[in-house]
Amino acid sequence: MRWRRQLSSLLITEAQLKRRVRELARQIERDFIGRDLVVVSLLNGTVMFLADLIRHLSLPLRLDFIGVSSYREGAESRELIFTKELRLEVRGRDVLLVDDILDTGRTLRRVLGRLRGSRPRRIKICVLLEKKARRVDKVRADYVGFSIPDLFVVGYGLDFAERYRNLPFVGVLRPQYYQSG
Ligand code: IMP
Ligand code: MG
């Protein structure tokens, strides 16, 4: 396939993703049982993870999205802009905030700041991936699919320049493909 040359390795297989997402869902179910749950997912990187996660959540829930986009230079994230605001009322509700990857923590810190302004009862954070090595902001995720080394990864929703989101696994992008721009 065409992307083969652009990836240096396969980091997380489809089978591993499937198994881990099911485990996360079970954990989340236990923690939110009997609560009025609002799942708030960040666009666009969470598409695949979110779809798989919520189909395994047998809890009543409502779903909404916040759009964030960071203009980036290479793989470094820069200015963050909000492209879609939350529409559901979350005051007094339990919120599960879902993101694809916790890297420096800047994105989630900004989003948390906004969400807290809507006065939810509590906010729990769920991320598919985290890179512990790169954290600059003090953000902790309550549910983490996989801790990964400091590599630029794509697939299963994660992109580079909006590409590769459709790969069904998580792979490592060769540095020459994101260091050039
Ligand atoms: P943070 O604000 O530095 O924590 O970055 C979070 C956002 O950066 C994620 O939601 C992703 O969109 C993006 N990101 C960080 N690391 C990667 C990666 O390895 N591959 C693809 N996107 C990434
Ligand atoms: Mg992204």
How confident is the model at residue 3, as a pLDDT?
80
What is d(CA 145, CA 100) in angstroms, rounded to the nearest whole number? 10
Count of structural domains, the chain? 1
Ligand nearest to the CA of 141: 1
Q: Give me the CATH number covering residue 26.
A: 3.40.50.2020
| Better-predicted residue by pLDDT, 76 or 156 | 156
pLDDT tens digits for 105-141? 999 999 999 999 999 999 999 999 999 988 888 899 9
What is d(CA 155, CA 172) in angstroms, rounded to the nearest whole number? 9
Residue 78 lies in a domain: yes
Residue 1: pLDDT over 70: no
Query: Could you list the residue range(s) of the whole structural domain that residue 122 is in?
Result: 14-151
How confident is the model at residue 180, as a pLDDT?
61
Q: Which atom of ligand 1 is nearest to the CA of 151?
A: 19
Residue 144: pLDDT over 60: yes
Lowest-pLDDT range of 10-19, 47-56, 77-86, 147-156: 77-86
Residue 56 lies in a domain: yes
Q: Which atom of ligand 1 is nearest to the CA of 134?
A: 3
How confident is the model at residue 73, as a pLDDT?
57
Q: Ligand 1 pocket by C-beta < 6 Å: which residues?
A: 45, 77, 99-107, 152-154, 158
Residue 124 lies in a domain: yes
Give the pair of three-digit tokens for residue 162: 């909006």
Residue 94 lies in a domain: yes
pLDDT tens digits for 53-63? 999 999 999 99
Residue 6 lies in a domain: no
Mean pLDDT of all residues in the chain? 93
What is d(CA 137, CA 135) in angstroms, rounded to the nearest whole number? 6
Residue 20 lies in a domain: yes
Angle among Cα 94, 170, 40 to the nearest 5 degrees reads 15
Residue 168: pLDDT over 90: yes
Q: State which of 6, 9, 77, 79 you would mutate to test the pocket of ligand 1, scoring each by most atoms of that ligand within 8 A of its C-beta.
A: 77
What is d(CA 166, CA 55) in angstroms, rounded to the nearest whole number? 18
